[in-house]
Amino acid sequence: MITGILLVQAVAFAILSAIIASNKNRSAGGWGALGFLFGLFGFIAAIAVGEVEDDTRSSRRRSSQQKSSSSEKKQTPRNKEKESASQTFDPDEHEKKCPMCAEYIKLEARRCKHCGHEFSKEEVERQVEEIRESVKGSESASEGEKDERNYKSDEYDTEEILSTHDFNGVGMCEDCDYTREYVKANNYVCPES
């Protein structure tokens, strides 16, 4: 009788541990075996472990990070400019500042996730087009000769560099016409400051 109860309990913890582990992209069989052998402790361990990224996503992310980090080590600021100029405009990489709560949200967002402020469709399209034009302008400007003194090494504080710019509501410096993302990526200090 007691053996039967213990067996049912072990199977129940094995199934629960396997379900939780599979929801966290972990091996259901392995965690099920732990739940079977260790009962409640295996189940608690299955709950406590963190989620694992999907293998295809994590391998793509690792390979892209390795490529970018190896290419960034070899690049000068001028090479970074040429690389950014060859890339296409991606609105997901840009943000805008909500006029109501001053929090940054995605450029294409029609509603602020922080305060609920709504933007009209025309306003969002206009903001996207403004940033697209400013990115094109900064790309074409980056093809010309730039003063190397405005580009700082990675040891400089990003917030300090951003403070030299006067960003308006759409994330573009009013003085040098560079976007917030360009400034962050290239450690560009505004020459007008």
Would you state the structure tokens that stand for residue 83, as one six-digit string?
A: 């690389």
Global pTM value: 0.33
Question: What is the Cα–Cα distance from 132 to 134, expressed in whole angstroms?
Answer: 5
Name 48's Cβ contacts closer than 8 Å, sequence gap at least 6. Answer: none
Query: Rounded to an integer, what distance in angstroms lies between the CA atom of residue 141 and that of residue 118?
Result: 34
- The verdict on 148 and 89 lying in the same domain is yes
**Average pLDDT of the chain to the nearest whole number:** 75
Q: Are residues 29 and 97 in the same domain?
A: no
Decide if 67 is inside a domain: no
Range of the domain at 21: 2-48
Residue 22: CA atoms inside 13 Å, Cβ hemisphere, count? 9
Q: In the chain, where do the E strands start and end?
A: 95-97, 104-106
Is residue 57 in a domain?
A: no
Residue 193: inside a domain: no
Task: Return the pLDDT at 10.
Answer: 92
Task: Give the SS3 label for residue 179.
Answer: strand
Average pLDDT over residues 115-136: 83
Name the DSSP letter for residue 106.
E
Instruction: Output the pLDDT for position 77.
Output: 47
pLDDT at 33: 93
The C-alpha atoms of residue 100 and residue 116 are separated, in whole angstroms, by 9
Same domain, 99 and 141: yes
pLDDT digits (tens, 9 = 90+) for 148-190: 666 666 666 777 777 777 776 667 777 777 777 787 777 778 8
Q: How many domains does the chain have?
A: 2
Residue of higher predicted confidence among 152 and 113 = 113
* Cα 93 to Cα 63: distance, rounded to the nearest angstrom: 19
Looking at per-residue pLDDT, the higher value among 33 and 87 belongs to: 33
* Block residue for tokens 């490529």: 67
* Mean pLDDT value across residues 24-32: 88
Same domain for 91 and 156, yes or no, is: yes
On whether the CB atoms of residues 150 and 188 are closer than 8 A, the answer is yes
Q: Are residues 101 and 8 in the same domain?
A: no
Mean of pLDDT values over 9-26: 90
